[in-house]
Amino acid sequence: MARTIDLLQGTLDLIVLKALSWGPMHGFGLARWIQHTTEDALQVEEGSLYPALYRMENRGWIKAQWALTENGRRAKYYKLTPAGKRQLAVELEAWARMSRAMGQIVNARGATA
Amino acid sequence: MLPDEDRVPTWRRYLRLVRDNPSGDVDDELAFHLQSTVDELVAGGMSLGDARAAARAKFGDLEQISRTLHTLSHQRERHMTRADLIDSLKQDVVFGLRQLRKSPAFTLVAVITLGVGIGASSAIFSVVRSVLMRPLPFANADRVVRLSQRNGSDEMWSVPYGNFDTWRQQARGFEAMGAIAGGGRVTLTGQGEPLPVPTFSATAGYWRALSMPPVLGRYFSADEDRHGARPVAVISQELWKDRFASRRDVIGRLITVNGQSYAVVGVAPNEYLLPHPPGDAIWLPVDASPSQLNEFGDHEWTVFALARRDVGLPAALRQVTQIDTRLARDHPHSFYDGTVTARPLTDVLVGGNRLVLYLLSGAVALVLLIACGNVANLLLARASVRRTEIAVRSALGASRGRLVAQMLVESVLLALAGAALGLGVAVAGIRFLASSPIPLARLNEARLDGAVVAFTLGLAVVCAILFGLAPALRAARLDLQQTLRDGGRNTRGESQHGLRQVLVVGELCLTLVLLVGAGLLIRSAFALAAVPVGFDTNDLLVFNVVLPESRYSNNDRTRAAFEAMESNIAAVPGVRAVARTQTPPIYGSGWNWTAQREGSNGHDAGAVVADMRFVSSSYFATLGVPMIRGRAFTAGDGSNAPLVAVVSRRLGERLWPGIDPVGRRISNGGDQWREVVGVAEDVHSDGPKHDVDPVLYIPAAQQPGQNSYAFLVRGAVPVTTLLPSIRRAVASVDPLIALSGVSTMDDAMGRLLALDRFTRVLLIALGITGLLLAMVGVYGVIGYFVTQRQHEVGVRIALGASSRSVHWLVVWQGLVLAGTGVVLGVPIALLVARFLGAFLFGITAHDPITYIVVAVLLALVAVLAAYGPARRATRIDPLEALRAT
């Protein structure tokens, strides 16, 4: 069993935005994408993905459209809006700053006197 | 294989074609997710039942998530509906603006029409608001009333001081009661140039009843009402500003009024002069002498009272009526029956002239309706041009509601543009109205404020619906296929034309009503002008001279001073004649004097209440009042000569019907008899609108103790140019005397008739506006008629119809419209004209000449409006007209 990480607040948004930056995806696909990409390291409860998607849609970051899947079933596909793309850039930048800061903390050699 | 229960029902898919279904979307999406997981697990070898349980477990709390999603999804839906609405409104506005820009001629005509209608309405509204709707600035204005006595059906406006004093002491239903009376003009000296100032006598209760705090200092106290109290004065805000530079140390200063000193105790705000505009004024205490307290017959005082909140006005009035009934019993022949009535302060201050405002409000409303009719007509004409556009839009899926909304948005845009222009019109209108010299309280305070702007915008929206709804509904009801098939050519012109005709006939009706109103007023003005007032008003200068009692307590000295002034003025080159009287005609009445012939007991036909005026001997010659019998006064009718009188024709006829009054004797109930030496022609002392009063003239020399006189100076040259010389002539007798109330008789007549002229001019202006608008309306409809009948006219011309008969065919259309308008409008006008009754003179509201002239005028205008289209019709080329079909 792989060790799992609890998701930080707001991280899920970044993950969804990043995932959709590759192209439109439906909710189920999105769940599988996260699972495969992180090799199950992130334990996202699949149901919790949807409220996040709906909130992002209400904020205008993503747009939904019904379309047929490869198997001929109707599914709701989400795709990034221009506002979503801008938001992704903002969050990536924030994430980079955060991880830089965390890295410096983790590698610090103790307080200087 | 999909189990049935998990499949999206087919009907729901079709439903989605019609509209979004947020609830269905959520359920479908979650079902898809679970089904995909189940498929995955089943493909991995799990049994269907286990797979379903596992999928649920993996998903989490399905119930709760589903609820959350429903909520979020509904939020979004609501948000989008609102956004959609705003969006479509934005689209409509942009589209509407583009449409309006595309036809600038139409837009311009519509906006100007609406601007005039809305602007006139707003200007009148601002006046109505200022004069009628704004609350009075007095603290308890709703409980303040003016009390008056009654004598049968007559209302006695003024009350004897004794009655007032008794009411004040005994009527417990009032918190405060006060009396005020005009004290005439006095000369204020010691503050720069001698200044004539109107004075009032007021009791302490007057200030308490009206209860508006002084600008400075205080008002009178109850002690100061008493006889012999310390002389104090309250001055008006304007006087304080002009003569005392608004200095606060004016309180306690002594001012000299007619030679007597008064200590200034307070400054009263301008509102106390209502309904008159702010001006100079001095209020003095009543100084009620014992004889005044016992005066129960001389109606002299205006009484204001503040009803107690807990008693209420009706109960308080019953109480004061009881008191006055007792007084009426104790003092018979005092012209009151004991009933006391009350009029609210607003009524008193605004007076009867509010009728003018109602009249004008009605007239502008008519003009606005005519304007709306015109714009509706223009819109209908445009709608028939825009048929193809509308048909295409509706074929592309625009719903009927959407089309109507779009047209209404266009109407509102038009109306708002009209309102913007209207605000400009209103500003000009308000300036004109506020500066017009008509006696309406607070008229000069009318301005364009927030309320007027709000009214204007509201009116614009109402107008937009009024003129826009019918054309919008009509356009949206259009038969789509038919129109598209016709390639946009109008095949339904008939009914369209019908509605436009109805609108134009309506406009003509309203115009007729307006014009009849204006016409009746014009006829009244002619009738008024035809009334001879009884004297020559041209080049007659009028002014007052008051001699201060302190220096002129001696009767001989006073008479000598006035006579010296009169002869000095007469010597001024350019002065043809000069005379004196206590009150000139047009300026008011003289004194009430019960004239009794010999043998009368004072209560029979031999006693007539006459208007007594004492006049200098040159009076009749100066005014140009002819003597029809006997002689005028002469210098010989002095104080020591036998007492004489001149009666007016009316008084002579009343006292001695069919007998020559000259040589008869007359008294006012005492044993002092005067011999009638002449009969003077009647004079309309209150102006041409009022009947002549019976007048008794007495020589000024035989009326001692008169300290103020009005001088009448007839010029051989324009009389105002003589004013400096006249001032010098007066100053040579007494340099401390100021002339007051300087005016020409013509100006005084003008002021008397100012309200009539104002009403007439405005009604004529509104009538002409309505007429022009209606003319445009007729032109439009006839023009449309010609366009519609191009083919028919072409055939007629081809068949040899003369251009005259074609011309007539078109003009006839105009006449039919005007005729219908007249037939329908006359009954309305007859009904409405009854409200004009109070403004009419010498004619009835059914004056046939007015109606005939207006009807002919409307017909002429309709013919004129039809002339252009008629010429166009005669020039129709039959070949072209036939080919075009």
List, for residues B701-751, the tens digit of each pLDDT value.
888 878 889 999 999 989 889 999 999 999 999 888 888 888 899 988 888
pLDDT grade, residue B17 (50/70/90)? very low
**pLDDT for the residue numbered B482:** 60
Based on the fold, state whether residues B504 and B565 are members of the same structural domain.
Answer: no
pLDDT grade, residue B7 (50/70/90)? very low
How many Å from the N-terminal Cα to the C-terminal Cα in chain B? 67
**pLDDT for the residue numbered B486:** 58
**pLDDT for the residue numbered B14:** 46
- In a domain, residue B292? The reply is yes
> Considering only CB atoms, which chain A residues are within 8 Å of B73?
54
**pLDDT for the residue numbered B665:** 92
Q: What share of chain B is helix, strand, coil (3-state, %, to 5)?
A: 55, 15, 25
pLDDT grade, residue B155 (50/70/90)? confident
Which range is most confident: B197-206, B273-282, B400-409?
B197-206
Considering only the beta carbons, identify the residue of B60, B62, B75 that sits closest to A58: B75
Based on the fold, state whether residues B188 and B323 are members of the same structural domain.
Answer: yes
More confident residue, B146 or B497: B146
**Residue B284 near residue B204 (C-beta atoms within 8 A):** no
Residue A97 has pLDDT above 50, yes or no: yes
> Considering only CB atoms, which chain B residues are within 8 Å of A50?
29-30, 33, 65, 68-69
Strand partners, A67: A75
pLDDT grade, residue B677 (50/70/90)? very high
Contact A47 B79 (CB under 8 A): no
**pLDDT for the residue numbered B506:** 92
Strand partners, B426: none
> Considering only CB atoms, which chain A residues are within 8 Å of B7?
none
Residues of chain B contacting A, Cβ within 8 Å: 8, 13, 16, 25, 28-30, 32-33, 35-37, 58-62, 65, 68-69, 72-73, 75-76, 79
Based on the fold, state whether residues B325 and B380 are members of the same structural domain.
Answer: no
pTM: 0.71
Residue of A nearest to B9 (CA): A74
Question: What kind and span of H or E run contains B763?
Answer: helix B754-788
For the stretch B616-641, pLDDT in tens is 999 999 999 999 999 999 989 988 89
More confident residue, B657 or B687: B657
- In a domain, residue B245? The reply is yes
The minimum CA-CA distance between B31 and chain A, rounded to whole Å, is: 10
CB atoms closer than 10 angstroms to residue B721: 10
More confident residue, B488 or B694: B694
Residue of B nearest to A63 (CA): B76
Considering only the beta carbons, identify the residue of A28, A54, A66 that sits closest to B73: A54
Give me the mean pLDDT over the B645-651 stretch: 95
The minimum CA-CA distance between A47 and chain B, rounded to whole Å, is: 5
**pLDDT for the residue numbered B347:** 77
Residue of A nearest to B10 (CA): A74
- In a domain, residue B203? The reply is yes
> Considering only CB atoms, which chain B residues are within 8 Å of A40?
none
Give me the mean pLDDT over the A89-105 stretch: 89
- In a domain, residue B505? The reply is yes
Q: Which residue, B39, B70, B92, sits at the end of a domain?
A: B92
Contact A51 B75 (CB under 8 A): no
Based on the fold, state whether residues B252 and B372 are members of the same structural domain.
Answer: no
Residue of A nearest to B79 (CA): A58
Instruction: List all residues 6 or more positions away from B281 whose beta carbon is below 8 Å from its beta carbon.
Output: B197, B198, B199, B200, B235, B236, B238, B239, B268, B272, B273
**pLDDT for the residue numbered B697:** 95
The minimum CA-CA distance between A30 and chain B, rounded to whole Å, is: 10
Based on the fold, state whether residues B317 and B361 are members of the same structural domain.
Answer: no
Say how many residues make up chain A: 113
**pLDDT for the residue numbered B15:** 45
Based on the fold, state whether residues B167 and B315 are members of the same structural domain.
Answer: yes
Residue B18 Cα distances to B83, B412, B688, B701, angstroms: 19, 31, 78, 103
Contact B69 A50 (CB under 8 A): yes
Whether chain B has a CB inside 8 Å of the CB on A57: the answer is: yes
Instruction: List all residues 6 or more positions away from A98 whose beta carbon is below 8 Å from its beta carbon.
Output: none
Least confident of B18-27, B42-51, B184-193, B842-851: B18-27
**pLDDT for the residue numbered B858:** 92
Least Cα distance to B711 among B737, B687, B688, B686 occurs for B737
Whether chain B has a CB inside 8 Å of the CB on A31: the answer is: yes
The minimum CA-CA distance between A75 and chain B, rounded to whole Å, is: 7
Residue B3 has pLDDT above 60, yes or no: no
Q: Which residue, B77, B92, B107, sits at the end of a domain?
A: B92
In A10-29, the residues whose Cβ lies within 8 Å of chain B are 26-28
* Total domains, chain B: 4
Residue B238 has pLDDT above 50, yes or no: yes
**pLDDT for the residue numbered B448:** 86
Give me the mean pLDDT over the B796-816 stretch: 87
Q: Report the side by side order of strands in the sheet with A62-68.
A: A25-26, A74-80, A62-68
Distance between CA A62 and CA A82 in Å, rounded?
Answer: 9
Considering only the beta carbons, identify the residue of B29, B35, B60 that sits closest to A46: B60
Compute the C-alpha angle B832/B426/B417, nearest 5°. 100
Q: At what angle do helices B803-833 and B754-788 cross, to 10 degrees?
A: 140
> Considering only CB atoms, which chain A residues are within 8 Å of B69?
50-51, 54
**pLDDT for the residue numbered B484:** 59
More confident residue, B255 or A5: B255
Residue of A nearest to B37 (CA): A28
Distance between CA B668 and CA B645 in Å, rounded?
Answer: 12
Based on the fold, state whether residues B590 and B670 are members of the same structural domain.
Answer: yes
Residue of B nearest to A32 (CA): B37
Based on the fold, state whether residues B524 and B555 are members of the same structural domain.
Answer: no
Whether chain B has a CB inside 8 Å of the CB on A91: the answer is: no
Based on the fold, state whether residues B566 and B711 are members of the same structural domain.
Answer: yes
Q: Which residue, B92, B123, B138, sits at the end of a domain?
A: B92
> Considering only CB atoms, which chain A residues are within 8 Å of B28?
74, 76
**pLDDT for the residue numbered B875:** 85
Residue of B nearest to A51 (CA): B69
**Residue B434 near residue B447 (C-beta atoms within 8 A):** yes
**pLDDT for the residue numbered B466:** 84
The minimum CA-CA distance between A55 and chain B, rounded to whole Å, is: 7
**pLDDT for the residue numbered A5:** 53
pLDDT grade, residue B488 (50/70/90)? very low
**pLDDT for the residue numbered B744:** 92
Domain architecture of chain A: domains with CATH:
11-106 (1.10.10.10)
The minimum CA-CA distance between A70 and chain B, rounded to whole Å, is: 12
**pLDDT for the residue numbered B799:** 86
- In a domain, residue B195? The reply is yes
CB atoms closer than 10 angstroms to residue B746: 14
For the stretch B390-415, pLDDT in tens is 777 777 777 777 788 888 888 899 99
Based on the fold, state whether residues B182 and B280 are members of the same structural domain.
Answer: yes
Backbone CA torsion sign across A78, A80, A83, A85: positive
Contact B36 A58 (CB under 8 A): no
For the stretch B501-546, pLDDT in tens is 888 899 999 999 999 999 999 999 889 888 888 999 889 999 988 8
Q: Residue B78 is part of which domain span?
A: 4-92
Distance between CA B281 and CA B76 in Å, rounded?
Answer: 70
Contact B72 A55 (CB under 8 A): yes
Distance between CA B669 and CA B665 in Å, rounded?
Answer: 12
Based on the fold, state whether residues B442 and B326 are members of the same structural domain.
Answer: no
Distance between CA A19 and CA B429 in Å, rounded?
Answer: 68
Burial class (CB in 10 A: 0-12, 13-18, 19+), B530: exposed
Residue B803 Cα distances to B467, B860, B861, angstroms: 37, 21, 22
- In a domain, residue B426? The reply is yes
Instruction: Find which of A54, A55, A63, A71 to mutate to test the B interface (most B CBs within 10 Å of its CB).
Output: A54
Based on the fold, state whether residues B283 and B244 are members of the same structural domain.
Answer: yes
Residue B137 has pLDDT above 50, yes or no: yes
φ, ψ at B33 (rounded to 5°)? -60, -50
Residue B436 Cα distances to B427, B430, B476, B751, B758, angstroms: 14, 10, 48, 11, 8
- In a domain, residue B870? The reply is yes
**pLDDT for the residue numbered B350:** 67
More confident residue, B332 or B61: B61
Give me the mean pLDDT over the B642-657 stretch: 94
pLDDT grade, residue B9 (50/70/90)? very low
**pLDDT for the residue numbered B446:** 83
Least Cα distance to B423 among B128, B127, B131, B116 occurs for B116
How many Å from the N-terminal Cα to the C-terminal Cα in chain A? 44
**pLDDT for the residue numbered B72:** 87
pLDDT grade, residue A9 (50/70/90)? low
- In a domain, residue B81? The reply is yes
Size of interface A-B (CB pairs under 8 A): 58
